[in-house]
Structure formats: C-alpha cells, structure tokens
Amino acid sequence: MVKSNESGAAGKDNDDKNNRDLTINVGGTSNSPTATAATGSSSSSSNNNSGFGISLNNNGASDSPSKTSSSNSPSSTSGGSSNGQPGRIVMKTPPQSVESPLFEINSKVKLQWSYDDNMKKPPSRITLRGQMPEGFYQPGTTKPLYWYIGQNVSAANMAYTWDTITESPPGYTLREGTGYKLYIYDSDIGWDNSTHVYPGRLFQFMLPFSMYNSRYDQTNDGVPRNYNPNAGSRSVSTGATTLWTVLLTSMLIIFVA
C-alpha cells in the first residue's frame, strides 16, 4: 500500500511538473515577440491582435490623402485659370460669318473684333500684316510677299481702320482679285512664335479676303459722288427777268393806247 501511494505521489509530481512546463511555454509564446510577429504575421494566439491592427491600418489608409486622392484637389485647369488652350480672335467687322470678305481698293477698311473665353491675357499691342496673292514674291526669292499694315498698335479698343492707300505694300499696288490674307498677332509674342500655343494668350489670326475696284461713280439718286450742293455759288437767271420786262412793257403800251 505504501508503495502504491508513493508511486501515485510520484505520478502526481510528474503531472504537476508537466503542467508547470506547459504554463511556462504558453506564457512565453503569448508574451514574447518573435520575428514572425514583428513582420506583421500572427500565430494562433496573436491572430486577434494582428487582425485588429489591420483594421486600423485600413481605416487609416482610407482617410489619409494619397496620390490618387490628391488628384481631386484644385489644379491649374480649375478655378478660372487657363485650360491649356490659346486665346483666339472673333471677328465682328467684317462679320465672322463672312469667310472671305471683299475690301474696296483705295478705301478705309474698318476692322473690329473680340476674344473668345480662352483669352486670359489679352495682348496690349497687336501687329497687322498683309500677304499678297500667290504669284507675288519677295524680290529674288519664292517666299510670299508680306507687308505691315500696322505695327505695335494698341489693342485696347480691339479695332483698327486700315487705309488701303497709305498702308499698301511698298513698291506694289493692290489689285483686284482673290488670295489676299490678313494676319493679326500679339506683338510681344512676335511673328515667328505667333503660331505656337501659349495657354491663355493670343494665337495668330488669319483672314482671307479679296479686293475690288469700285466703278460706280454716282449715288443712287443720280448725284455725282462727292458732290457738295453748298460748294457752288448761286446764280440768278437773267432770261426770266427779260421776259417779264417785255410783257410788262407791252401791257403798258396797250393800256396807254
């Protein structure tokens, strides 16, 4: 019996030892950080903690600005700034609907325009340049023949009156025909750069036109052009006076007789 009790006590001691070992192992696993836990991976006892941490990270990532979310912030294309397009001229005189207007030789041509909504920095000075029809070239070359109609003109009024007599190509006369071109561009940008795209600034404008000679020398009522009725001196007709004199004299003779 005593032996049996001793063996039972020994068995109990062994069980207690195993329990103590098990407790120590579990405690070490749950409390001691491992390389796996440090990298974000979880063991069976750390799954709940790691899952909680991922949930926070997900929420944080959705609330924090990222490269994707920053695309919604105002950029250079919003807030009334230029959208990358150049500004353009919209003709008012002659009307935009007339694709190739007729201008009279030896007259004054009135030009008037406005700008479209892309114009953010209107020019302060503009230059108007003409081009002769095909077949007219710069001397000694095959380059088109250009001439200046107006240089560095104030663009404040968005209008210009072209005198076709004094502002014609030097050494040439304007002739009837088609194929003429009128260019308007920002003087500060210059001719060479006027066809480059500068957001919000004037892009070169070109208007094809034709020229004609007016052969109509009289107005609609038959009065010669430039006739001024106030310029001539008044003259009194003597024929009517003489006739009345003769009639009165005859009546007096008859009455006396």
Structure confidence at residue 235 (pLDDT): 52
Local structure of residue 216 (DSSP, 8 states): -
Structure confidence at residue 245 (pLDDT): 77
Alpha carbons 59 and 48: distance in angstroms, whole number: 17
| Closest of 215, 87, 110, 127 to residue 161, by C-alpha | 110
Alpha carbons 139 and 14: distance in angstroms, whole number: 119
Nearest 5°: phi and psi at 191? Answer: -65, -45
| Burial label, 243 (beta-carbon count in 10 A; 0-12, 13-18, 19+) | exposed
Alpha carbons 227 and 80: distance in angstroms, whole number: 56
Q: Tell me the helices (H) and strands (E) count for the chain, helix number first.
A: 4, 8
Tokens representing 130?
Answer: 């003409």
The pTM of this model reads 0.55
Using the structure block, give the residue that is written with the tokens 């935009």. Answer: 96
Three-class SS state of 115: strand
| Closest of 170, 171, 166, 164 to residue 210, by C-alpha | 164
Please report, in tens digits, the pLDDT of each residue of the chain (257 residues total).
Answer: 444 444 444 455 555 544 444 443 434 444 444 444 334 444 444 444 433 333 333 333 333 333 333 333 333 343 334 589 999 999 999 998 998 999 999 999 999 999 999 999 999 999 999 999 999 999 999 999 999 999 999 999 999 999 999 999 999 999 999 999 999 999 999 999 999 999 999 999 999 999 999 877 655 566 666 666 566 555 555 556 677 777 777 777 777 76
| Closest of 104, 92, 90, 111 to residue 162, by C-alpha | 111
- List Cβ neighbours of 50 (8 Å cut-off, separation of 6 or more): 37, 40, 41, 42
Alpha carbons 252 and 254: distance in angstroms, whole number: 5
Structure confidence at residue 69 (pLDDT): 35
